[in-house]
Structure 1
């Protein structure tokens, strides 16, 4: 599966969605405009009210509001009380543009490291707890068993992990899989059809073989899983 979003010829720079996202990011690059958006996340306000809360003159508020409206972040409504008065509302759908587009449908997520004894096992266990898309793991040179410290941290965190099962990438990867290398060696070794779609450069906790090293690897993987899971669209798991 190829998740590359930007072609080498740079044509994606002309993508309407990418251009919209760029406008939103540019509009939020000014501290005053970001402060306006922060206020409007909580409730609507008239331009004058925003100016008083932020200590900005009316001409500067008008400028910032115009930029935010041009980026599609704000909309203006007329008061049902005093029809001469208008209120600004945040357009929450515009904030969705800040999020990268979802990946194509994924049948399964496969995490790969060198020995399939720690990082890839923990990543797959975390993923199985995070969402509906199936996950498994493999190694380029699988060990005979899962590392005891990986088993221990999985037990402490309530993760399901089979301490006896490791596998080779050649026996695991199939069409429709999203392959994620969770170590540099696997990312650099795997080429051709087995080349990873994503790379997470997570330091090998086995090198230090301490609880602290495994805790750090776990925290790194957990954060990455939490960030990626919402971008995954489950695919057909029957194929």
Structure 2
């Protein structure tokens, strides 16, 4: 009974937070990916102090989280908390001919994202890097194999070699996102598993991307 009461209170807190139009708009944006406060300001045309107030309310309600950028430590990203929108996910609202996942080296996160996307959506997917590596990381190959996910049999490719008009571009790397300012449609601030190169690091990245892919897929329509 206590669990049910707590769950009910959590739902009430979420609905109360979402009753504000500005906070609802912020959450709609976060269903696409992670945003820095500055990016949210630009999207919403809102002063920083008011945005800070709304972000605190969303964090208290268990709807949003924030963490530091791996690229520029002075920068932070706001994202949806895990399971934040169970029963509240917005409907489809974006059209795409293809989903293009981008990270710096196209050796792990973007490759995994494209492979996971192919399992849940009929919209084609592809991946690329801003500064591609020579080969796909062994850790990415191993974690994909453990989960029965088939990676594309192609080496890392440069973004300008594969990008096409009509792509819905998702950056899955803070470095790539901050290098491609204003060019992507969504950003997922996924920690780089190659920094640690451990099985757990690749497992965490895989699960993070898997959840995000599952959340985004219902929101995109084939264009």
User: What TM-score, normalized to structure 2?
Assistant: 0.60
SS of equivalent residue, structure 1 residue 112: strand
- Counterpart in 1 of 2:158? 168
Q: Is the 8 A contact 2:91 2:218 kept in 1?
A: no
- Counterpart in 2 of 1:217? 205
- Give ranges in structure 1 of 5+ residues lacking alignment: 11-28, 30-94
Q: Is the 8 A contact 2:113 2:210 kept in 1?
A: yes
Q: Is the 8 A contact 1:113 1:182 kept in 2?
A: yes
SS of equivalent residue, structure 1 residue 105: strand
Deviation at 1:102, TM superposition (A): 1.9
- Give ranges in structure 2 of 5+ residues lacking alignment: 1-27, 33-39, 47-60, 62-85
Distance in 2, matches of 1:8 and 1:176, equals 24
Determine whether 1:144 maps to 2:138. no
- Counterpart in 1 of 2:94? 104
Q: 4+ residue runs of structure 1 moved beyond 4 angstroms? A: 3-10
Deviation at 1:173, TM superposition (A): 1.2
How is 1:65-144 mapped onto 2 (pairs within 5 angstroms)?
98-144=88-134
SS of equivalent residue, structure 2 residue 93: coil
- Counterpart in 2 of 1:208? 196
Distance in 2, matches of 1:196 and 1:151, equals 26
Deviation at 1:99, TM superposition (A): 3.1
Deviation at 1:104, TM superposition (A): 2.3
Match of 2:174 among 184, 189, 197: 184
Distance in 2, matches of 1:114 and 1:196, equals 14
Question: CA-to-partner distance for each residue in 1:109-162, whole Å, 9 max, x for gaps?
Answer: 000000000000000000011110100100000001000110111112111213
Q: How many residues were matched structurally?
A: 147
Which structure is richer in relative contact order (CA contacts within 8 A, separation 6 or more)? 2
Determine whether 1:233 maps to 2:199. no
